Amino acid sequence: MEIFSEPDYYPSPSSAVILYSDQPVTRARRAVSQADIHALIVYLSSPVDPVSYPLFSDFFLVYREFMSPTNLYDLLIKRFEWCITEINQENTERSRIGNIALVRTFVFIRHGILNHFIEDFLPDVNLRLLFIKFLNKDHSKSTKIVKNCLVNLKKIWIHSMKTTWDNVEFDEPNNTRNNNNSNNNNNNNYDLNKFCLLYTSDAADELGGVDL
């Protein structure tokens, strides 16, 4: 998504798209008083500032007041895919920032799935299909860190499915209880493939000393 490369959003939001309050969230992170949604996504997955789990928690408690889960995860998927494009840049600094932003975006998505699967994904089969389609894109030629992020997201997804439904098999939506039968014919397109499960290390480990 090209907007993440624009000067007002890269590598962190400018004052034209985000305003901060005087009261910080933590010593390392300022609290946001006003921002557009793209600036907020960049702020929460910042490659410049350290990860703040209190910020994630606050965001996931309130974001449904101003956007839908589908809109949020669509943006997060675009952010993740933008990071992959940045990683492949010949410019070393842009590639480094892309790597960090990728892991931060991964951590952000992971937090949402682990803590808010019931609120966001359980009621919405289309959102589940959107996310599974993202997980199943062919990244076999991507860097190891991309594959590690994907395998960790798949493991988290499988864990969330198992804790939400009994005896679930991973051919959503066919075996989910609130399945829309019209989707059955397309079932095979959404199988949770395991192509990158060979990569078993935590994606965060790939960046060594980077503060997550």
Q: How far apart are CA 19 and CA 168, in angstroms?
A: 45
In order of 53, 127, 200, the CA distances from 165 in angstroms are 27, 17, 25
Q: How far apart are CA 200 and CA 197, in angstroms?
A: 6
pTM over 0.75: yes
Tens of pLDDT along the chain (212 residues) come to 789 999 999 999 999 999 998 877 666 688 899 999 999 999 999 999 988 898 999 999 999 999 999 999 999 999 999 999 999 999 999 999 999 999 999 999 999 999 999 999 999 999 999 999 999 888 888 999 999 999 999 999 988 988 888 766 655 444 434 444 444 444 444 445 443 333 334 444 544 444 44
Q: Is 166 exposed, middle or buried (0-12, 13-18, 19+ CB in 10 A)?
A: exposed
Q: How far apart are CA 108 and CA 30, in angstroms?
A: 17
pLDDT of residue 209: 44
- Does residue 33 sit in helix, strand or coil? strand
